[in-house]
Amino acid sequence: MENRTRNGSRRRMYLKMVSSSLIRRASRLIIAVLAIAIGATILSGLVTIYYDIPAQLGREFRSYGANLIVLPRGDAKITREVLDDLRGLIGTEKIVGMAPYRYQTVKINEQPYIIAGTDLAQAEKNSPFWYIEGSWGNAEDTSSVMVGHEIAQTLNINIGDTFTVQGVRYGQMAEASRQDLSAEENQKRDLGAQNFSMKLSVKGIVTTGGAEEGFIFADIDMLDDLIGDTFRADVVECSVVADAAELSALSSRIERDIPALQPRAVRRLTQSQDIVLGKLQALVLLVTVVVLIITMISVYTTMMAMVAERRREIALKKALGAESKLVMGELLGEGVLLGFIGGALGVFLGFEFAQRVSLNVFGRAINFQWALIPVTIAVFITITVLASIIPVRKVMDIHPAIVLKGE
């Protein structure tokens, strides 16, 4: 009974000492909390960025365009069902863009050209590097198409101009013009049931520096209607967020589950992305480590300076009969409290910082790593406690009278 009251009053005294010591030295405490909070901000901010960099930068590398080309196996074409299966297999959240292409030879002014029918909105996501004079075509206004720079030059057409494409409908054979018919009759035959003809206008001119400059890009459904066929794609270009290993695993999954398809990773992009992304990740890791080590040391020294200054106070307590264990306990309590407040403050400031960086650099929000809260707080409690113990131990070893005398 007596023992319990003693214990109770001891605990009360302990709490009173810890809290009053904190309140009395308000200005110094602000400094200490500030030091810890700065450290915790840097820790949680940089670690959050480090964790999110591969995902975020990986998406940036998608600006290099499609990294997975899916071809049909054999002479078959890719139907819409197969396309949906493919989308399901890759997973919608990993797909940046997925554009089916159908290539069709048409005649313009009796010269052969190739129309590429595609999902224009997806193609735009796939190929952000295309330079479009005018604007991207869309699925609403299907008679407005985009033409490659080369074609625009050859045909001498500009944005807003129109041209007529002609060709043979799907499954029909082209009949040669017959010598015994007049030109008028031949033209009529060309417009007959087995042929098509349509007036298209130029919405945009495509410049890429590659083979795309020799194509006309139109909506795939419009092209299917025009040639009188259902959806059949020659190739599907996919831009998938994945590194080389993930992509090759994905390729073998596609081969296994959809036998009609033949996936091919674009080595040039996947290999190069792995190299460059690896370097950038190593850079951020190294920077994070250097910054963290330096920050930790500087928080530690600040804390040490603050505790060392209390030598006289500690010595006085000892002279008054306090046990070493009690004094240590008091300092540890203070350290834990400071570490907790500073660490908690820093976690959220750090997240706020990382969020701002991510929004500024990548234009996307960052995922909050919940595990960082306990980790950051634990790290800073450890640092403050360590910083308190070492200088205090030195004081403990010395005789109080010597310290009090000021030597």
Q: Of 195-214, which residues contact other proteins (CB under 8 A)?
A: 207-211, 213-214
Rule CB under 8 A: say whether 103 interacts with other proteins.
no
Single out the residue of 371, 336, 335, 337 nearest to residue 351, CA to CA.
371
Taking CB under 8 A as the criterion, which residues in 118-137 touch other proteins?
Answer: 127-131
Specify the residue, 106 or 231, whose C-beta has the smaller distance to other proteins.
106
Taking CB under 8 A as the criterion, which residues in 299-318 touch other proteins?
Answer: 299, 301-302, 304-306, 309
Specify the residue, 178 or 356, whose C-beta has the smaller distance to other proteins.
356
* 206 contacts 53 by C-beta, under 8 angstroms: no
Specify the residue, 194 or 281, whose C-beta has the smaller distance to other proteins.
281
* 170 contacts 178 by C-beta, under 8 angstroms: no
What is the amino acid identity at position 159?
A: I
Beta strands 195-207 and 68-72, pairing class: unpaired
Minimum CB distance to other proteins, residue 312 (Å): 9
Specify the residue, 10 or 268, whose C-beta has the smaller distance to other proteins.
268
* Interface pick for other proteins out of 74, 112, 171, 321 (rule CB under 8 A): 112
Taking CB under 8 A as the criterion, which residues in 38-77 touch other proteins?
Answer: 38-39, 41-42, 45-46, 49, 53, 57, 60-61, 63-65
* 113 Cβ contact partners less than 8 Å away, ≥ 6 residues apart: 105, 106, 107, 151, 165, 216
Specify the residue, 55 or 290, whose C-beta has the smaller distance to other proteins.
290
Specify the residue, 53 or 231, whose C-beta has the smaller distance to other proteins.
53
Rule CB under 8 A: say whether 294 interacts with other proteins.
yes
Beta strands 215-219 and 111-118, pairing class: parallel
Rule CB under 8 A: say whether 298 interacts with other proteins.
yes
Rule CB under 8 A: say whether 359 interacts with other proteins.
no
